[in-house]
Amino acid sequence: MTVRGFTSDNASGAHPRVLAALAAAGEGHAASYGADAVTHELEERAREVFGPTATIFPVFNGTGANVVSLSAALQRWDAVVTTEHAHLATDESTAPHLVGGIAVRTLPAPTGTMALTDLARVLADDEGSVHHARPAALSLTQSTELGTVYTPAELAALSDAARGHGMSVHVDGARLANAAARLGTTLAEQTRGVDVLSFGATKNGTLFGDAVVVLDPDLAEPVARLRKATTQLASKMRFVSAQLLALLTDDLWRRTAEHANAAADHLAERLRTELGLGPVYPVEANAVFIPVPPALVTTVTEQLPVLPWDRRAGVLRAVCSFDTTEEDVTRLVTGLGRVLGG
Ligand SMILES: Cc1ncc(COP(=O)(O)O)c(C=O)c1O
User: Which domain CATH number covers 222?
Assistant: 3.40.640.10
Q: By residue range, what is the domain housing residue 297?
A: 252-341
Residue 240 shares a structural domain with residue 304: no
Residues within 6 Å of ligand 1 by CB: 61-63, 87, 141, 145, 172, 174, 202
What is the biggest distance separating any 2 CA atoms in the chain, rounded to whole angstroms?
Answer: 60
Is residue 148, in this structure, part of any structural domain at all?
A: yes
Q: What is the pLDDT of residue 16?
A: 98
Q: Which atom number of ligand 1 is nearest to the Cα of residue 141? A: 1
Is residue 201, in this structure, part of any structural domain at all?
A: yes
Tell me which of 231, 247, 263 is where a domain ends: 247
Residue 210 shares a structural domain with residue 323: no
163 membership: H or E segment, kind and range: helix 152-164
Q: What is the pLDDT of residue 280?
A: 98
Give Cα separations from 298 to 152, 222, 239, 277 (angstroms).
Answer: 38, 45, 39, 18
**Closest CA to ligand 1's atom 4:** 62
Average pLDDT over residues 105-110: 98
Give Cα separations from 181 to 62, 96, 257, 259 (angstroms).
Answer: 20, 29, 6, 9
Q: What is the pLDDT of residue 50?
A: 98
pLDDT averaged over every residue in the chain: 97
Q: What is the pLDDT of residue 2?
A: 61
**Phi-psi sector, 184: left (phi>0), alpha (psi -120 to 50), beta:** left
Residue 116 shares a structural domain with residue 260: no
328 pLDDT higher than 90: yes
Residue 271 shares a structural domain with residue 206: no
Q: How confident is the model at residue 4 (pLDDT cuts 50, 70, 90)?
A: confident
Looking at residue 7, what DSSP letter applies? S
Is residue 1, in this structure, part of any structural domain at all?
A: no
Dump pLDDT digits (tens) for 158-214. 999 999 999 999 999 999 999 999 999 999 999 999 999 999 999 999 999 999 999
Residue 194 shares a structural domain with residue 308: no
Looking at residue 115, what DSSP letter applies? P
92 pLDDT higher than 60: yes
Residue 43 shares a structural domain with residue 133: yes
Dist. CA 131 → ligand 1 center (Å): 32
Q: How confident is the model at residue 342 (pLDDT cuts 50, 70, 90)?
A: low
Residue 174 shares a structural domain with residue 66: yes
Dump pLDDT digits (tens) for 47-67. 999 999 999 999 999 999 999
146 pLDDT higher than 80: yes
Dist. CA 311 → ligand 1 center (Å): 21
Q: Which atom number of ligand 1 is nearest to the Cα of residue 8? A: 14
Separation CA 69–CA 219 (nearest Å): 9
Residue 216 shares a structural domain with residue 170: yes
Residue 169 shares a structural domain with residue 28: yes
Rounded to the nearest angstrom, the gap between the alpha carbon of residue 335 and the centroid of all alpha carbons in its chain is 29
Separation CA 239–CA 300 (nearest Å): 38
**Closest CA to ligand 1's atom 5:** 62
252 pLDDT higher than 90: yes
Is residue 188, in this structure, part of any structural domain at all?
A: yes
Dist. CA 65 → ligand 1 center (Å): 9
Residue 256 shares a structural domain with residue 241: no
**Closest CA to ligand 1's atom 7:** 62
263 pLDDT higher than 90: yes
Q: What is the pLDDT of residue 1?
A: 54
